[in-house]
Amino acid sequence: MKPIKGSERAPIPGATDMGDADARERLEVTVLLRPANPQAWAAQSAALQSKTPPPPISREAYARQFGADPADVAAVSAFAAAHGLALVASDLARRTVVLSGTVARFNAAFGVRLRRFEHEGGTYRGRTGAIQAPDEIAPAIEAVLGLDNCPQAKPHFRTRRRAAPSAALTGTFSPPQLAALYDFPAGDGAGECVAIVELGGGYKPADLKTYFAGLGVAPAPQVTSVSVDHGKNSPTGDADGPDGEVMLDIEVVGSVAPGAKIAVYFAPNTDAGFVDAVSTAAHDTVNQPSIISISWGGPESSWTSQAMQAFDQALQAAATMGVTVCIASGDSGSSDGVASGDHVNFPASSPHAVACGGTTLQASGGAITSEAVWNDGAQGGASGGGVSTVFALPAWQAGLAATKTGGEAAPLAMRGVPDVAGDADPETGYVIRIDGADTVIGGTSAVAPLWAALFARLNASAGKPVGYVNASLYAQAATFRDITAGDNGDFAATAGWDACTGLGSPDGVKLKLP
């Protein structure tokens, strides 16, 4: 048996070991396989990080060029059968094999001892140490996800602390008002599909109908739910819980790009569920999304390296197929909620995504009067940003520097976060309807779907997807609304790119994307 590289897992800090997991409990596990042509895959990764990335290819061409080797699928399937595990599904394009069985059989097959842990948020099935695989198939396996089901990510939204507002409350905005302030190009995103990834909660069609009717959006956008790993649209009735995230995402995209189809991919809040949701959306040949919006994440330090690699490979697949991915950079400033040091949020830190930071925005007479880094101070909310400890510096960020609040500027040696920004302060936030009531929400969770809606309009106008846009965004740095005031804790806003608001907020009509 050989350990799977990067699969080492430790309990959630503060969790208590409650003993062995029930040996009869059934679970499903996703096995990620190597590409059939690793050299081509590595070359594609390097090309995407250059200043002139390659043009996108179709989903069908991707499957041929970068899919798994059928022999590897057969070998893993035979291994599973020998250990009494059932083959649920396999997908050559996604390079995945899904296996089902009991805890006892997975313990024996992968050399682990699954346990039950109790922590502040509840209980979960977990493990310590590395996952093992037989020598003959270990080289083919890049990740084994789903043995543990500890919660992997949090939504990045914040609710306004004042009393429930009306749409006319001073200082807040409807999403279409923000689109107008940021000078989004005309259009409604017709013909596009925006994928939204959710790890809990749900939406109520009656709320969406009321919300869009109140904004004069007619006909209402088409919203479809897609189940991933048995996740489903499950409203909880808690506006401060995941329902808030789901409704925020749908209502921002749907009101700014009402002509676009919205496909919501519901998955469990685990590393396997999160990765599978993004991979499913990227390869979806039915809905065919051209944009993915993600408003969930966690500090890089909270992920196993195998899960981060699997997730980043799903994002690289999306980029290769011309799918633009917008991800919230986090709401806890330069610390990303970790007790000490500077940390960035993943998956926003992936170089294959557009990381979306946050501002606080003031407007009057239909024009922006001021915009600074979002930082609530004592309330603890601030634009996530900093420097990755995992991902290398992409060529399109070469020569940039991260400036600390003390004034010292250090040249970027690794991937800098975020790339772009938009209004995220809940005090200047988005009027949204959740669970039968109107409220105001902020956080970088609102910025990712706002940028996704902008890309939907740009795609529809151009008649083709803008695709993987990062290099193009940095080449057009001068077109952004540069944010030069404020900080997110340890990093300060400066002229040009900074580790608080990236290149700045959009001036939509000025963006000229391929």
The predicted structure's pLDDT at residue 162: 55
**Residue recorded with tokens 């596990």:** 29
First to last CA, the chain: 48
**Contacts with 134 (C-beta within 8 Å, 6 or more apart), sequence order:** 1, 2, 79
249 catalytic residue (yes or no): yes
- In CATH terms, 154-392+414-461 corresponds, of 3.40.50.300, 3.20.20.220, 3.40.190.10, 3.40.50.200, to 3.40.50.200
The predicted structure's pLDDT at residue 165: 45
Q: What mean pLDDT is predicted for residues 215-228?
A: 96
d(CA 15, CA 238): 26
Q: How confident is the model at residue 379 (pLDDT cuts 50, 70, 90)?
A: confident
Q: How confident is the model at residue 202 (pLDDT cuts 50, 70, 90)?
A: very high
Q: Is 469 in contact with 390 (CB distance < 8 Å)?
A: no
285: pLDDT strictly greater than 90: yes
278: pLDDT strictly greater than 90: yes
The predicted structure's pLDDT at residue 169: 57
Q: Which two tokens stand for residue 211?
A: 């919300």
Q: Is 67 in contact with 93 (CB distance < 8 Å)?
A: yes
Tens-place pLDDT, residues 116-169: 999 988 999 999 999 999 999 999 999 999 999 999 999 998 888 654 444 445
d(CA 304, CA 11): 11
Other C-beta atoms within 10 Å of 71: how many? 10
Q: What mean pLDDT is predicted for residues 296-324?
A: 97
Mean pLDDT computed over every residue of the chain: 95
Tens-place pLDDT, residues 317-342: 999 999 999 999 999 999 999 999 99
Q: Which two tokens stand for residue 235?
A: 């409203």
514: pLDDT strictly greater than 80: no
The predicted structure's pLDDT at residue 160: 82
The predicted structure's pLDDT at residue 167: 43
Phi, psi for 438 (deg, rounded to 5): -85, 140
pTM for the whole structure: 0.97
d(CA 275, CA 289): 16
What number of H helices and E strands is found in the chain? 11, 27
Residue type, 342: D
Listed by start position, the domains of the chain span 2-34+69-145, 154-392+414-461
41-50, 325-334, 362-371, 374-383: range with lowest mean pLDDT: 374-383
Catalytic residue among 192, 245, 276, 284: 245
28 catalytic residue (yes or no): no
The predicted structure's pLDDT at residue 413: 98
Tens-place pLDDT, residues 350-371: 999 999 999 999 999 999 999 9
Catalytic residue among 249, 276, 284, 435: 249
75-84, 88-97, 196-205, 430-439: range with lowest mean pLDDT: 430-439
d(CA 471, CA 281): 23
Give the whole-number percent of the chain exceeding pLDDT 70: 98
Catalytic residue among 293, 445, 472, 505: 445
The predicted structure's pLDDT at residue 171: 77
Can you name the CATH fold of 2-34+69-145? Alpha-Beta Plaits (3.30.70)
